[in-house]
Amino acid sequence: MSARDVGLPDHVPAGADYPDTVTIWEVGARDGLQNEREVVPLEVKLEFLDRLAAAGLSIVETTSFVHPKWVPQLADAEQLLDGLRRVAGVRYPVLVPNERGFDRAMAADVSDLAVFASATETFAQRNLNSGLDDQFEMFEPVTSRARAAGARLRGYLSMCFGDPWEGPVPARQVVRVGKRLLELGCSQLSLGDTIGVATPGQVSLLLDEFVTAGVGLDALAVQFHDTYGQALANTLTALGRGVRTVDSSAGGLGGCPYAESATGNLATEDLVWMLDGMGIEHGVDLDKLVDTSVWMARQLGRPSPSRVVNALAG
């Protein structure tokens, strides 16, 4: 069944508080697959990337140059990029955790990069082997060299709303860390609800704190996990405040190794269905995207958690 068969939702104008256009930052091929226990074959990953681009996604995050010991799923980063069939007008960012990752990215002729930081002390120590403030010593060489090379650089900030060890995270602490990433040279900051505990009120509060601190909302993106079923509500809140870039994962792929009940990232199909109903432009062909997620679910041997995928493919 296609979206056309069931009838797309009426395109009701979103109103003055919402953007006319939203950029979808697709993370399924990197963040979505990195927690898979079984290594996904290289040819499957390449076809997945081909299908995502063909569905109209203009930003498709591909992989990460992290040490294979820590993320075996992404050990094929060089081979993936070597075999990638790039589509004109589509960006293919990669994550570079440190200066060694940056070197690998430059050798692979990649100029669209991202770094990954923590908003909390405990997560910084456990995931980055660094303190909350010390982590910037690792990022500074990457950001300075990226600027010198003319590369785009995005900053991911994890645990922006809750941390499994520290509990709720103070908004001002998130803003302090986020501003440092922007000051180092990141052109965009993605605020991550890593364990999926955020609510719309928390989202509003954090965005207010960034604005008060002098950070424009055009420099911010959001990435919500759907652990408690709040991802779409949180995304809608962020859009209503002026955020124009949303991270999501085709078919809701992904999860969080720090919260057993985490159900993964906001599904791109669920996001697209909502945006279509609001008359907000995004450039994605929903039917092609659903077909892609159904295909990928077969490769992984389990159904997609996306409600829109299941409704249209049912």
Q: Write phi, then psi, for 189 (nearest 5 degrees).
A: -120, 120
Q: Residue 57 CA to chain centroid, in angstroms? A: 13
Question: Rounded to an integer, what distance in angstroms lies between the CA atom of residue 244 and that of residue 20?
Answer: 9
User: 265, 303, 252, 288: which is closest to 3 by C-alpha?
Assistant: 288
Contacts of 187 (CB under 8 A, 6+ apart): 152, 153, 154, 219
**What is the set of active-site residues?**
256
Question: Rounded to an integer, what distance in angstroms lies between the CA atom of residue 166 and that of residue 73?
Answer: 28
User: 289, 241, 239: which is closest to 268 by C-alpha?
Assistant: 289
Check: CB of residue 269 under 8 Å from CB of residue 251.
yes
Check: CB of residue 269 under 8 Å from CB of residue 293.
yes
Beta bridge partners of 238: none
